[in-house]
Amino acid sequence: PVLVHTVTTKGKGYKPAEKQPSVFHGVGPFDIETGKAKGKSESTFTDSFSEAICKEAQKDERIVAITAAMADGTGLKEFSEKFPDRFYDVAIAEQHAVTFAAGLASAGMKPIVAIYSTFLQRAYDQIIHDVALNNLPVILAIDRAGLVGQDGATHHGMFDLSYLRSIPNMVVFSPKDGDELADMLNTALKLECPVAIRYPKAATVTKSAKRNYIEPGKGEIIAQGKHLNILAEGIMVGKAQIVRDELAKEGIDVGLVNMRSIKPLDEGLIQELATETPLVTLENNTIRGGFGSAVLEIISEKGLLQRVKTIGLPDTFIGAGTIDELYSEVSLDVKDIIIEVKKFLGLLCVVPEVAVK
């Protein structure tokens, strides 16, 4: 037998890629001469996380950060430079990242595992047996939740709400913006249990330096409606606000609740709203077993006779495209949500499809 061991250089032949191989692992349009990305650079949820974890680490030496070969992608590069002795890159070994975090937590450290939603699936067994079963305060910073765009079906973070909310001892947060993400990280560091914070590949900003405690199991009422109330999670709160504004122009009074705590849910608030109006749930997760399903479980358990419409990502694998293109493809852009809400309220006639010869 002959064994050929070939050592390659990532980006070989293109100097900018050789100098920054991780940056060029997955790259959009860029200037061929300089290697710099084209287009306007916007602040993102990842940037907000990066800023927040560095600020928290300055105040508490027990905070450590763990990545699985994704320091740049998860926003941990700045942390690794400021706190090199508290940064761990375990390479492409997500299972080890989570178990390692469990060990650190059991020794009194405050580990934060920054990881893409789709890659966290590999560590499901470790989340259950090493973290949750022992009720250890490990924080999962779950980037790229929901649709991610051009990376396609293998990279969409469609399932984390479904597979995490079924685990005992787990708290699951979903921030609507950068400020709420920073608040949730600050809150998670105060809790003595596993916490998952899921956030999308999307633009946002962190405006306030003041941090607020986000109570697990409590939603935020943005507005209460007379005809309908939308319960939205994470980035979908912004879409729901636009839907609400557009429907208001037609005299339809729609309320909006930011369901920032997915587990535990605000059962009291859901029960209160369900006694007043029909409900629509809106999520950036598969419609199967996610946030909407959790609301339906509460409606059933409480014996409430109320109509609920769940809107989210379809029960299918979704391909590649820009995020806006994909939202349109799966009927999750604003105009499609408005149509679904009107149908649900009986304000649009649903015309059955008729075969045309």
Q: Which residues are catalytic?
A: 10, 94, 122
Strands 254-258 and 220-223: antiparallel
201: tokens are 């590949």
End-to-end alpha carbon distance in the chain: 65
HSE at residue 244, side-chain half, CA atoms within 13 A, is 24
Specify the length of the chain in residues. 357
Phi, psi of 38 (to 5 degrees): -90, 160
Report the run of H or E that residue 222 belongs to, with start and end: strand 220-223
Residue 144 phi, psi (nearest 5): 60, 40
H-helix or E-strand spanning residue 106: helix 94-106
Six token digits for residue 264: 């535990």
